[in-house]
Amino acid sequence: FFPLAGPQGYINLLKAGKRKEAYEIIAEKNPLITVCGYICHHPCEEVCKRGTLVDEPMKIRSLKRYLGEIFLDDPPAAYPKLHDLHIAVIGAGPAGLTAAHCLAKKGYKVTVFDQSGEPGGMLMRGIPDFRLNKQDARREMERLAKAGIRFEFNAKLDPADLDDMLKHYDRIVVA
């Protein structure tokens, strides 16, 4: 039994009672599952064929939130160490965190720099508390550090700093 990737895969796993495996399919590419469960405006549900052919659309956003909340406090698996390259990611918003997660999953050493004192970017500063549980978001982002991504906060960088960074990092991703 090989589940499909994407919603079809994790919905089938969830239906079979394999919650952890369903969670892992989502977590493969999305490090902010719980956050998405809170704030996604779920456009996929509007075009879900099940809603027109059977009964109602699949509640993808709710499934992500459900799975994310179940495994939020589980210790994350450590990212593999497969390459000697060290990559700097500038920006700890959703794009930077996702880039760091994808690179770390491929075995690169990753350090994320952000000018604020915590990860999340506009998730933490721009989305009101009634729309996003900030404590859950922080816990989800802490999982990235526990899995092996390094963070440097209060790091205000300007373009002149990039040349110096290339002396210490093999690649730089600006997110």
- Whole-number Å distance between alpha carbons of 71 and 26: 12
| The pLDDT of residue 59 is above 90 | no
Given this model, what pLDDT does residue 48 score? 78
- Whole-number Å distance between alpha carbons of 114 and 116: 6
In degrees and rounded to multiples of 5, residue 39 shows phi and psi of -110, -10
The model's confidence at residue 22, banded by pLDDT at 50, 70 and 90, is very high
Share the mean pLDDT of the chain. 92
Given this model, what pLDDT does residue 2 score? 54
Among candidate residues 135, 24, 106, the one with its CA nearest the CA of residue 71: 24
pTM of the model: 0.90
Listed in sequence order, the residues at least 6 apart from 39 whose beta carbon sits closer than 8 Å to its beta carbon are 123, 127, 131, 132
